[in-house]
Structure 1
């Protein structure tokens, strides 16, 4: 199992095997997600907005910014 030591500055070097598995490269970021007491999951945070292109159907009609804002406000009010 890969492991890393914390430096006096609180830094770690992510082992090459982990960087490879997470497809991390220089300049990429990682996120630490708390999954339980004393447990975190490290995930790559290097997704691009273009990665989600096409996951939603095209709208049946164009919607104005005012209509979008009103829909968000309406949904938020339902959660209160």
Structure 2
């Protein structure tokens, strides 16, 4: 990995998936001696809680309750 000019690195996809990091997650960088650790800044959310967080406010106005339920059920 290389540190770019803005001090950023890309966490390899395999590690992100294995450790449950997804786009939009808040992270902290913690110094541990001469080592830096990247950790979730909030308690780890379940996949369902992440989906709810990401979907909140995304419903289009003008949709009926039945239309919204059909979307969430995949019907």
Normalized against structure 2, the TM-score is what?
Answer: 0.47
Q: Which has the higher relative contact order, 1 or 2, with Cα contacts under 8 A spaced 6 or more apart?
A: 1
Q: Choose 1 or 2 for highest CA Rg.
A: 1
Normalized against structure 1, the TM-score is what?
Answer: 0.44
